[in-house]
Structure 1
Amino acid sequence: MHRPEASLQQQGTALPWHAALHSLQREAQPHALASVVGAAGSTPREPGAKMVITEDAVHDTLGGGSFEFQVIACAREALAQGESGTRLEAFPLGGRSGQCCGGYVHVLIELFAGAEMQVAVFGAGHVGQALVGLIAPLAWRVHWFDSRDDVFPATQQPRLVKHHAPDPAVAVAKLPRGCHALVMTHDHGEDCALVDALLARGDCASIGLIGSHSKWASFQRRLRDAGHPQARLEREVRCPIGVAGAKGKLPYEIALSVVTELLTLKPAVAHDDRRGVAPDTLREAFAPPTNE
């Protein structure tokens, strides 16, 4: 089974920052790029030095010592809070960092929160395969499940994790919070068990079920008997899936409709005229020294 999230660790050593950045960007993994952008006095590295930081790994170096540990801690705290964007941090090496160099360093920390969306696809049939192929170019992480052996195609994708999961409850337990779940297995009983488990979990961003209105009506009766209120079924489960009015029953046509619907569910990005490091902060950091 391909596990893209482990690919850096499998190489057994820290990578040059540019190699690590390429791999993490390709896999849509959360990470930070720390760059020395200003230095004064005696400092461990010159401007242009870079380091890549993840939750549990560091690639390359800004010179080591307490200063570097502080940069790592700052980046990891921001990553743990799901931050993205940029921040400029100042490190007086004799004060904040407690080093004897006595210099002063400005570090730009660029934060990448990872995948834009997490999508779970239950079912590796014709529609599932077409759907996963369409998602491949997007910065979404896909968790692909099937209860059958040897049904996944051999093709690998950098942000795709495949799971052979015969037990629906175990499969659903593997999902990250806030995942968009799409249920499209080869078996109606398995579909219903998966929707039941997804509703019981209660933290999915959305739940979509492939099928007709009559299939959904039958499922609703069984799910109400399992204790799920009708109002919640109507609010949290979409069936049929896909954009309203889409025509066509070919797997690729259905997949196109479903990806389009997912795009409408993608979180909006807040736009602000003042992006990145505040101009006042940059002016203060890089203002030429005054002659007294």
Structure 2
Amino acid sequence: MNGPDQIWPEAVRTLESGKPFALATVVNVRGSTPREVGAKMIVRDDGQFGTIGGGCGEAEVFRKARILLEEGSGARLAEVDLTGDFDQKEIGTCGGIMDVFVDIWSPARDLPIARQLADAAGRSAPVALLTVVDPGARAELPPGARSFIDPAAVENGGGATIELPEAARAQITACTTDAIPSLFEFDSTGSLKPITHLDASGAPRLFVDPIVGAQRLIIVGAGHIAIPLCAMGAMLGFHVTVIDDRASFANRERFPQADAIIVKPFKAAIESLALDGHCYLISVTRGHAFDEEAVTAALLQPCGFVGMIGSRRRVKATLERLGEAGIPQERLDEVHAPLGMAIGAETPEEIAISIIAEIIRERRTGIRDDFTLGARFGRLKRNST
């Protein structure tokens, strides 16, 4: 899958082969659109890598990107109006507008920054790409001027080749650390203000594009539910790790799509992983004692998503014990349990779909509620014998 974490390694491969490319990045959206801010695709003379949503809108951006490639330099902002999907007779399910910035990357100029970005994506490091979308009245900032942003360096007054006021550096640091792609313009005080419309104002516009590496799906327990979970996680572009203390269950034959398989006691395995905010850990072990062990180990790290299956009664008792053991209540409140959206799932495959659906909702919207599969039906089957 051409996931977001693969864009920058592909950019490096292209530039190292001596070929330029046009990078198309969604910098702003209005209404319902097929892709979110920050989505991007690489356009080369032999085709494209990645997608900004497909259809006529992507085809039009591809056409404009190829023109820039033929010209060999430059940058432009393209408005993709999906309210009528160009020449289509009917309006599709997406009825919004995307603002897409297209600029040329060349081997001689841009290979070093592409390598920095690819390295950061591989490590899920909190850095960002800063790009001038519109220079406004500042002629010294050409469209497409770019800089690699490391929050630690920015806080110390460095790390950016684009000159920034102190207030702007602080805002960019916050966006980078929080991994929130944002389109800004300078105001009269030198601060940055977010914008959603690109009407000409004479003020410079910058796009802060945090680098998000491969999000990790850690499946604790290698029973029946774990098999479809691994397959679906890989299909969605997650880096998938499967953990179990039994080699007869956690092996390559059962999990051919897994990126990593760890055969260790659950606690030791989780402690060996550097969990962060890009991690989704789900406990589907063969017993509640193991789930409690796994969830405890995950909550002691800054894991972004922690979930476990089980009945409401079992979940309540488990979380109470964790609270008594000293896990802060705010962390316990973040646990997704009982895990799985309310779709009436019964089979391991259906339960896996319900779990993946809850992960997607959290991943895309940040919204969660208590009306889960477990809350509605009162139970979830164990996933293993």
TM bin (shorter chain): 0.5 to 0.7
Q: Deviations over 1:185-227 (max 9, x none)?
A: 11322211111111111x1111101101111122123201210
Paired residues for 1:56-135 under 5 Å: 71-79=110-118, 80=120, 81=127, 83=129, 114-115=213-214, 117-135=215-233
Q: Evaluate the alpha carbon distance shift between residue 251 and residue 31 of structure 1 in structure 2; reply closer, same or farther with a 3 A threshold.
A: same
Q: Which residue of structure 2 lines up, in the alignment, with residue 217 of structure 1?
A: 316
Q: Evaluate the alpha carbon distance shift between residue 25 and residue 176 of structure 1 in structure 2; reply closer, same or farther with a 3 A threshold.
A: farther
8 Å CA contact 2:280, 2:305 repeated in 1? yes
Amino-acid identity (%): 25
Q: Evaluate the alpha carbon distance shift between residue 83 and residue 258 of structure 1 in structure 2; reply closer, same or farther with a 3 A threshold.
A: farther
8 Å CA contact 1:207, 1:238 repeated in 2? yes
Alignment partner of 2:113: what SS?
helix
Name the larger-Rg structure. Answer: 1
Q: Which residue of structure 2 lines up, in the alignment, with residue 98 of structure 1?
A: none
Give, in angstroms, the shift of residue 175 of structure 1: 4.1
Give, in angstroms, the shift of residue 130 of structure 1: 2.1
Q: Deviations over 1:253-280 (max 9, x none)?
A: 1111001111101146xxxxxxxxxxxx
Q: Evaluate the alpha carbon distance shift between residue 192 and residue 69 of structure 1 in structure 2; reply closer, same or farther with a 3 A threshold.
A: farther
Q: Which blocks of at least 5 consecutive residues in structure 1 are unaligned?
A: 1-23, 39-46, 50-66, 91-110, 269-292
1:174 maps to amino acid: L
Q: Which residue of structure 2 lines up, in the alignment, with residue 31 of structure 1?
A: 9
**Are residue 262 (structure 1) and residue 359 (structure 2) matched?**
yes
How does the TM-score come out when normalised to structure 1? 0.57
Q: Which blocks of at least 5 consecutive residues in structure 2 are unaligned?
A: 23-43, 47-105, 121-126, 134-142, 147-209, 366-385
Q: Which residue of structure 2 lines up, in the alignment, with residue 187 of structure 1?
A: 287
Match of 1:204 among 291, 299, 303: 303
Q: Evaluate the alpha carbon distance shift between residue 190 and residue 223 of structure 1 in structure 2; reply closer, same or farther with a 3 A threshold.
A: same
Q: Which residue of structure 2 lines up, in the alignment, with residue 281 of structure 1?
A: none
Work out the CA distance in 2 between the residues paired with 1:181 and 1:167: 12
Q: Which residue of structure 2 lines up, in the alignment, with residue 249 of structure 1?
A: 346
How does the TM-score come out when normalised to structure 2? 0.44
**Are residue 137 (structure 1) and residue 176 (structure 2) matched?**
no
8 Å CA contact 1:241, 1:258 repeated in 2? yes
Give, in angstroms, the shift of residue 32 of structure 1: 4.1
Structure with more relative contact order (C-alpha pairs < 8 Å, separation 6 or more): 1
Work out the CA distance in 2 between the residues paired with 1:83 and 1:144: 32
Give, in angstroms, the shift of residue 237 of structure 1: 0.7
Give, in angstroms, the shift of residue 236 of structure 1: 1.1
1:250 maps to amino acid: T
8 Å CA contact 2:266, 2:293 repeated in 1? no
Work out the CA distance in 2 between the residues paired with 1:160 and 1:112: 21
Work out the CA distance in 1 between the residues paired with 2:323 and 2:271: 20
Q: Which residue of structure 2 lines up, in the alignment, with residue 174 of structure 1?
A: 273
Q: Which residue of structure 2 lines up, in the alignment, with residue 10 of structure 1?
A: none
Alignment partner of 2:345: what SS?
coil
Give, in angstroms, the shift of residue 133 of structure 1: 2.1
